Amino acid sequence: MQIIDSQRIAASREKVWAALNDPAVLKQCIPGCEDLQMSSPTDMAATVVLRVGPVKATFGGKVTLSDLDPPNGYRISGEGSGGVAGFAKGGATVRLEPDGPDATILNYDVDVLIGGRLAQLGGRLIESTTKKLSGEFFAAFGAIVGGEAEAETGEAKRGWLSRLTGSAQGAE
Amino acid sequence: MNDMTPTREQRTAALEGMGCKRKRVEDIRFTQGKGNYVDDVKLPGMLHGDFVRSPHAHARVKAIHSEEALKVPGVLAVITAETLKTVNLAWMPTLAGDVQMVLADGKVLFQNQEVAFVVATDRYAADDGIAKVEVEYEPLPVLVDPFKAMDPDAPVLREDLAGKTTGAHGPRKHHNHIFEWTVGDKDLTDAAFRKADVTIKELISYHRVHPSPLETCQCVCSFDKIRGELTIWGTFQAPHVIRTVVALIAKIPEHKIHVISPDIGGGFGNKVGAYPGYICAAVASIVTGKPVKWVEDRIENLTATSFARDYHMTAELAATKEGKVTGLRVHVLADHGAFDACADPSKWPAGFFNIVTGSYDIPVAHLAVDGIYTNKAPGGVAYRCSFRVTEAAYCIERAMDILAQKLNMDPAELRLKNFVRPEQFPYHSALGWEYDSGDYATAMKKVMETVKYAGLRQEQADKRAAFKRGETREIMGVGVSFFTEIVGAGPSKNCDILGIAMFDSCEIRLHPTGAGIARVGSKSQGQGHETTWAQIIATEIGIPADNIMVEEGNTDTAPYGLGTYGSRSTPVAGAAIAMAARKIKAKAQMIAAYKLEVHEDDLEWDIDGFRVKGLPEKTMSMKDICWAAYNSVPPGMEPGLEAVSYYDPPNMTYPFGAYICVMDIDVDTGVYKVRRFMALDDCGTRINPMIIEGQVHGGLTEAFAIAMGQEIRYDDAGNVVTGSFMDFFMPTAVETPHWETDFTVTPSPHHPIGAKGVGESPNVGGVPAFSNAVNDAFSFLGSTHIQMPHDYWRNWKAAKSLGVFA
């Protein structure tokens, strides 16, 4: 399954690029990320809690940055195993385009493959979950880098009413 | 005679024999929650086993780490293929002549394949242990689409078969090819097609489904180290075959294996085969010296043990312009999954699919079936049908409708024009069967009269006109289906399982007071054998059915039988019961003659005993004969009154039926409503009309499920995406339509009581009736064939693709 979307971030392309390579920022943005350790500038080990429908599992895996083309973009990919819950792998190709000196258009193209029990039980939910998770990632990223809001006030922390009505102050 | 003397009618009624709507005796315990199922077996010190399963559809297994699992409190052992190799059980033979991994040996070939077996003191600990077993996989390219299986660059699935150009059923054409099976005369068939006025050709797919009995597959294995005996309680449709299989592969002497099938909560073909769970539980019990229970959960059942169908049939019919069918040509691409574990008689790699000429007098036909491997679960069982018969019936019944559409002829009329005629029986079909008896036109016309068929067609024409004028968004379909089943496998000349002829058996033992026990080689899973078998005996020997206890499923006490599937119980075991009863009756006649001091030939049978010809008051009841059998038999005769019969059927039986389904579909939502469903079945002599009606209701409900929604679907990565009842359609009373039933009676000429079997007919005839109704509804919009299942979404998609809305 694939999701193609873009987002405008109120920050220069260089600032966005730097953030895309900052494990501390990535850790804050990857939904459910509990731990992210860098072993080289392009390789990280991550622990992510993922929930699809009735299945919730802790995934251990690696995150890799590739096709680095500073400051135009890269590919961020990951794969992990959740034991009996199954496995997930996927990534996003990110392209940055300047939108004037103080803003950047972040284009992303996400592909995800889910297998095992996650896919069996959550089959009908995979598309919506993937959209939700990638939306959360880039919303949080935009909030942190664009400075429009602190990460803590991003989508994950919004109340149920604002989530329903979409009237939050966060980047959406 | 006085007023107190029962009339002949009263004496007959008191027996509750054949033809009586006798209430099911097993329901007394079932409706009170007092059934005894495998999961009710709880033995002291019993352990529980459960599987680590593969999340991948195709991957190399590089390592299995069980150290952490063994630290979980209660976990005693983690069994892997390496463990099983020490007892030569890492692989097991399948019923289809292939071999299957018991536990992943180097690689996995389908999602949820068994990788390791965790044994623990309770099920919770076993599941905790599973979560701690770490398996290193290296994913491999996945093959899901059967049409790509024989591409030159298709991934190699079965590395164990490398270099084997011949399989159990002849040459293999490709590394993912299992067999090619051909029947019929190709040259004559090709010639018929060249001469035909009209031909049709269509790819008709029968999608992958699953029998999904409410009780999943399960067993308890208990090995007694002192005696060297293994006892297995299991959900087995064929307990004796399981005992033989265990003896052959585990090398335990067969007399030291006790297989017990207690009450079974539905089988539908799912419980015929031998599964890794049985082997692992047995090995675990032998290793630990304790009883080990294995119980599948729903996801495991749907994704790992024995799917059904997955036949992709290219059907061609040749006909004259008047609508006389002159030839049939069929090619089947049969998706068997990762191992060929079809539960067919050994010589029949595609079951009895060559019944595909159906109920029609088709002079020439040719059939070719290619079986192939894919990264899907193994199986291919006969889900409420005889071996591959529902696939065949669906194929020919859809093809006949497509031909009718092309000829612009009514589908019922086309069928009537091509039926095998009553005087042609016994009828030899172009693909090699000898149909025993039938009167098809009478059955068809009767059901057409009941539903007022001509009126339905007029209403449909009016509605179609109204639809075209834009006055309604509802379309109406009339699905006609006429099927001929082939059941009662089978004659030893052409049917065996692992070399054992497919006879069945009965042992009847009558006690001095006129009661008795009948032990039978079949095994009820809900069919009501305890009720109906006693009815056959009641009519045959005049002992009330209530005085006959029927026992099945214990290999120590029941005579060897091949079990219950493929509607074989009544045709084969039912015949054995009648023949055993007749042996008893013959001895009873000698005893009665001795006691009445007449010659045997002077006696005649009269409902519940013998009477002297011409002297109706001089009688001896069967009850009294029972007593005499234990104290005053004729000189030289052994006392007692018992008999055993092993019945080798001379032929299959051929039940048939005519079904009509009336359906309305809203084109904007795809929502359908079954307005009427009329099922007429002819199963020959009817033993218990109430049980037949129940069987027909159940079979129609499963047919409805299959045609209208049930599907085991795989995504491109080989994930099963319909692995629970949330996604796998299981109709409840809410969805299930109202059924109307009817019957004709054309007895089987070769069966002792003329019965043919009925349990699976409604599934065989029902699926095409539903599918033909949907296809008939859409046909006037320009469609020829819409694939099953016909759920709302697919109906909506069909409407959309036909341009009904933008």
Per-residue HEC secondary structure of B612-627 comes to: ECCEEEEEEEHHHHHH
Tell me which residues of chain B have a C-beta less than 8 Å from any C-beta of chain A: 52-53, 55-57, 111, 130-131, 134, 299, 303, 715, 717-724, 726-727
d(CA B404, CA B421): 20
d(CA B551, CA B289): 30
- Determine whether B385 is an active site residue: yes
pTM of the model: 0.93
| Yes or no, beta carbons of A116 and B303 under 8 Å apart | no
Burial label for B356, CB within 10 Å (0-12, 13-18, 19+), is: buried
Distance from CA of A124 to the nearest CA of B (A): 8
Query: In terms of CA atoms, which chain A residue is nearest residue B52?
Result: A84
User: Which run of H or of E encompasses A131?
Assistant: helix A126-146
Residue with token string 């079809």: B342
Output the average pLDDT for chain A. 81
User: In terms of Cα–Cα distance, which of B680, B705, B701, B706 is closest to B758?
Assistant: B680
| Yes or no, beta carbons of B722 and A123 under 8 Å apart | yes
Chain A interface, best mutation among B712, B721, B791, by max A CB count within 10 A? B721
Question: Lowest-confidence range among A53-57, A161-165, B734-738, B772-776?
Answer: A161-165
Within 10 Å of residue B732's Cβ, how many Cβ atoms? 8
CB B342 within 8 A of CB B317: no
Distance from CA of A24 to the nearest CA of B (A): 30
Chain A interface, best mutation among B66, B132, B303, B719, by max A CB count within 10 A? B719
Query: In terms of CA atoms, which chain B residue is nearest residue A124?
Result: B721
Query: In terms of CA atoms, which chain A residue is nearest residue B130?
Result: A84
Within 10 Å of residue B617's Cβ, how many Cβ atoms? 7
Ranges of residues in chain B whose predicted pLDDT is under 70: 1-3
CB B141 within 8 A of CB B176: no
Question: Lowest-confidence range among A61-65, A79-83, B200-204, B776-780?
Answer: A79-83
Nearest to A123 among B53, B111, B727 (CB): B727
pLDDT band at A123 (very low <50, low <70, confident <90, very high): low
| Yes or no, beta carbons of A115 and B56 under 8 Å apart | yes
Distance from CA of A57 to the nearest CA of B (A): 11
pLDDT over 60 (residue A159): no
- The one catalytic residue among B24, B208, B384, B611: B384
Exposed e or buried b per residue across B777-801, where buried means at least 16 C-beta atoms within 10 angstroms of its C-beta: bbbbbebebbbbbbbeebbbebbee
d(CA A10, CA B535): 85
User: In terms of Cα–Cα distance, which of B275, B293, B288, B276 is closest to B232?
Assistant: B293
CB A74 within 8 A of CB A66: yes
Rg (chain A; Cα; Å):
16
- Domain residue ranges in chain A: 2-166
- The one catalytic residue among B100, B391, B760, B794: B760
Query: Token digits for A31?
Result: 């939904």
| Yes or no, beta carbons of A120 and B299 under 8 Å apart | yes
DSSP letter at B21? -
User: In terms of Cα–Cα distance, which of B401, B444, B404 is closest to B422?
Assistant: B444
Residues of B in contact with A115 (CB under 8 A): 55-57, 111, 717-719
- The one catalytic residue among B218, B237, B535, B589: B237
| Residue B573 C-beta-side C-alpha neighbours within 13 Å | 33
Per DSSP (E only), the strands in B622-777 are: 641-647, 656-666, 672-682, 740-743
Query: Token digits for B114?
Result: 């068994």
d(CA B296, CA B285): 17
Q: Which fold has domain B8-35+504-647?
A: Aldehyde Oxidoreductase; domain 4 (3.30.365)
Query: Token digits for B479?
Result: 């699905």
| Yes or no, beta carbons of A84 and B724 under 8 Å apart | no
Mapped onto helix, strand or coil, the DSSP state of residue A55 is strand
Note the helical H segments in B388-516.
389-407, 411-418, 440-451, 453-468
Peptide bond into B490 cis (omega under 30): yes
In chain B, residues under CATH classification 3.30.365.10 are 8-35+504-647, 307-425+439-489+652-801
- Determine whether B760 is an active site residue: yes
Query: In terms of CA atoms, which chain B residue is nearest residue A126?
Result: B721
DSSP letter at B373? -
Residues of B in contact with A113 (CB under 8 A): 717
User: In terms of Cα–Cα distance, which of B311, B209, B206, B268 is closest to B710?
Assistant: B209
Chain B interface, best mutation among A120, A121, A130, by max B CB count within 10 A? A120
Within 10 Å of residue A35's Cβ, how many Cβ atoms? 11
Query: In terms of CA atoms, which chain B residue is nearest residue A57?
Result: B131
| Yes or no, beta carbons of B724 and A124 under 8 Å apart | no
Distance from CA of A82 to the nearest CA of B (A): 9
Backbone phi, then psi, for A110, in 5-degree steps? -100, 135
CB B744 within 8 A of CB B682: yes
Nearest to B720 among A83, A120, A124 (CB): A120
CB B327 within 8 A of CB B201: no
Query: In terms of CA atoms, which chain A residue is nearest residue B726?
Result: A121
The dotted CATH code for B307-425+439-489+652-801 is: 3.30.365.10
- The one catalytic residue among B221, B280, B385, B506: B385
Q: Residues 6 or more apart from B785 whose CB is under 8 A from it?
A: B202, B203, B204, B398, B402, B775
Per DSSP (E only), the strands in B218-358 are: 218-224, 229-234, 257-260, 292-295, 307-319, 325-335
User: In terms of Cα–Cα distance, which of B235, B202, B201, B210 is closest to B220?
Assistant: B235
Exposed e or buried b per residue across B209-223, where buried means at least 16 C-beta atoms within 10 angstroms of its C-beta: bbbbbebbbbbbbbb
Distance from CA of A168 to the nearest CA of B (A): 34
Distance from CA of A2 to the nearest CA of B (A): 14
Peptide bond into B349 cis (omega under 30): no
- Determine whether B626 is an active site residue: no
Residues of A in contact with B59 (CB under 8 A): none
Question: Lowest-confidence range among A57-71, A150-164, B173-187, B657-671?
Answer: A150-164
Nearest to A116 among B55, B130, B134 (CB): B55
Our measurement of the distance from residue B675's CA atom to the centroid of its chain's CA atoms, rounded to an integer in Å, reads: 28
Our measurement of the distance from residue B788's CA atom to the centroid of its chain's CA atoms, rounded to an integer in Å, reads: 20
| Yes or no, beta carbons of B130 and A84 under 8 Å apart | yes
Per DSSP (E only), the strands in B524-631 are: 548-552, 603-605, 609-612, 615-621
Query: Token digits for B372?
Result: 């192939």
For the CA atoms of B184, B185, B191, B192, what is the dihedral angle to 10 degrees? -30
- Determine whether B16 is an active site residue: no
Q: What is the domain class of A2-166 according to CATH?
A: alpha beta
| Yes or no, beta carbons of A83 and B303 under 8 Å apart | no
Residues of A in contact with B720 (CB under 8 A): 119-120
Mapped onto helix, strand or coil, the DSSP state of residue B672 is strand
* Terminal Cα-to-Cα distance of chain A (whole angstroms): 22
Query: Token digits for B255?
Result: 């007399």
d(CA A56, CA B335): 33
d(CA B319, CA B627): 66
Residues of A in contact with B722 (CB under 8 A): 123
Query: Token digits for A99?
Result: 């939108």
Burial label for B36, CB within 10 Å (0-12, 13-18, 19+), is: exposed
| Yes or no, beta carbons of B303 and A84 under 8 Å apart | no
Q: Residues 6 or more apart from B739 whose CB is under 8 A from it?
A: B677, B679, B696, B697, B700, B701
Give me the pLDDT at residue A148, please. Answer: 54
Within 10 Å of residue B586's Cβ, how many Cβ atoms? 11
Contacts across the A-B interface (CB distance below 8 Å): 51
pLDDT band at A112 (very low <50, low <70, confident <90, very high): confident
Classify domain B38-140+216-264+271-304 at the CATH superfamily level.
Aldehyde oxidase/xanthine dehydrogenase, a/b hammerhead (3.90.1170.50)
DSSP letters spanning B120-185: ESSHHHHHHHHHH-EEEEEE------GGGTTSTTPPP--GGGTT--EETTEE-SSTTEEEEEEEE-
Nearest to A119 among B53, B134, B719 (CB): B719
Rg (chain B; Cα; Å):
28
